[in-house]
């Protein structure tokens, strides 16, 4: 009964548990991707500095990833830092760069207990050494865990990812390693997300209706869910609402998805 933050009366808790039970009866999304927007706005609303919003947003990753793990999702991809984010103030960028270390220092023991695995996508070679090491260490330590894959998109940009894939293919071709046309499978295998299935559901918080260079190739058939709720306030119940919405859409499509030809 301690699963739900900020719920006070037992009636609402009961209904959340019931809903949890209900959603497990129909197909859950396997892979959910989230654009965690609205941390700065959350802080502003509370007259706090932006970095306080980032910290609260980080705390919320803990809540949502535990919940996703409890639901039995296979993967949760979180847009933590985009290639565009370098344009923010020096102070903010340096604060953001410290968050992975801080998050992992606090949460790694719990990730191990919960059997969760940490991976990352993005140009991680271009971030400060200590940040890079913290992320690589977490990936190494958790690599045999079989629960939720917690995937951080870090210094990630989808167009850059596709160009890296393209240039690798050009190299392969030069070296005579390609003996036919490039297929979707071959292209996908060169992306940072090679080991993951495409997301079934994308969530963006805080009311913006854009993709912001996130997983452009991988989201080709994904259901989108947008909410006005700010990331630090997006709790278990909100995540549940997104999944319920996803399941209603799946039911309306009547099982056409996944049958091959009608995929759209
Ligand atoms: C960041 C907190 C969440 C809201 C969005 C912006 C601020 C966790 C990480 C992280 C990244 C890699 C990793 C482990 C944790 C993180 C950044 C920002 C840059 F392996 N939260 N968080 N990284 N915010």
Express each pLDDT in 203-248 by its tens digit: 999 999 999 999 999 999 999 999 999 999 999 999 999 999 999 9
CA of 100 to the centre of ligand 1 (A): 5
CA of 214 to the centre of ligand 1 (A): 15
pLDDT value of position 7: 47
Q: pLDDT tens across 173-200, in order?
A: 999 999 999 999 999 999 999 999 999 9
| Confidence band of 1 (pLDDT split at 50, 70, 90) | very low
What is the Cα–Cα distance from 188 to 198, expressed in whole angstroms?
A: 10
CA of 231 to the centre of ligand 1 (A): 12
CB of 138 closer than 6 angstroms to any ligand 1 atom: yes
pLDDT value of position 240: 96
Section 159-166 average pLDDT? 98
Looking at the DSSP bridge assignments, the partners of residue 119 are 151
Share of the chain above pLDDT 90, in %: 86
Pocket test for ligand 1, best of 42, 58, 130, 133 (most atoms within 8 A of CB): 58
What is the Cα–Cα distance from 221 to 256, expressed in whole angstroms?
A: 12
pLDDT value of position 164: 98
CB of 28 closer than 6 angstroms to any ligand 1 atom: no
CB of 58 closer than 6 angstroms to any ligand 1 atom: yes
Q: Which pTM does this prediction carry? A: 0.93
- Domains belonging to the chain, first-starting first, are 28-157+198-249 (3.40.1180.10)
Residue 260 has pLDDT above 50, yes or no: no
pLDDT value of position 10: 47
pLDDT value of position 12: 57
Q: Whose CA is nearest to atom 17 of ligand 1?
A: 80
Q: Whose CA is nearest to atom 21 of ligand 1?
A: 58
CB of 69 closer than 6 angstroms to any ligand 1 atom: no
Residue 20 has pLDDT above 70, yes or no: yes
Q: pLDDT tens across 53-104, in order?
A: 999 999 999 999 999 999 999 999 999 999 999 999 999 999 999 999 999 9
245 assigned to active site: no
199 vs 2, residue with greater confidence: 199
Atom of ligand 1 nearest to the CA of 120: 20
Pocket test for ligand 1, best of 51, 59, 76, 81 (most atoms within 8 A of CB): 81
Q: Spot the catalytic one: 9, 18, 37, 262.
A: 37
129 assigned to active site: no
Q: pLDDT tens across 100-154, in order?
A: 999 999 999 999 999 999 999 999 999 999 999 999 999 999 999 999 999 999 9
């Amino acid at each position: 009964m301690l699963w739900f933050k900020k719920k006070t009366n037992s009636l609402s808790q009961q209904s959340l548990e019931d809903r949890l039970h209900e959603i497990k009866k129909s197909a859950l999304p396997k892979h959910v991707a989230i654009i965690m927007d609205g941390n700065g706005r959350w802080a502003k609303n509370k007259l706090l500095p932006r970095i306080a919003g980032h910290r609260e947003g980080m705390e919320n990753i803990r809540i949502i990833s535990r919940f996703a793990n409890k639901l039995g999702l296979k993967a949760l991809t979180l847009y933590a830092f985009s290639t565009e984010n370098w344009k923010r103030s020096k102070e903010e960028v340096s604060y953001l760069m410290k968050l992975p270390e801080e998050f992992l220092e606090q949460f790694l023991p719990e990730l191990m207990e919960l059997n969760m695995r940490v991976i990352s996508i993005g140009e991680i070679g271009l971030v400060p050494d200590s940040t890079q090491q913290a992320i690589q260490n977490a990936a190494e330590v958790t690599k045999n865990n079989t629960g939720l894959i917690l995937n951080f998109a870090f210094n990630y940009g989808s167009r850059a990812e596709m160009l890296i894939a393209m240039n690798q293919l050009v190299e392969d071709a030069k070296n005579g390693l390609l003996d036919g046309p490039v297929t979707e499978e071959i292209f996908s295998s060169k992306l940072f997300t090679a080991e993951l299935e495409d997301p079934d559901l994308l969530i963006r918080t805080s009311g913006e209706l854009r993709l912001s260079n996130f997983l452009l190739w991988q989201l080709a058939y994904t259901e989108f869910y947008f909410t006005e709720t700010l990331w630090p306030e997006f709790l278990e119940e909100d995540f549940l609402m997104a999944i319920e919405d996803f399941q209603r859409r799946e039911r309306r499509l009547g099982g056409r998805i996944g049958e091959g030809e009608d995929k759209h």
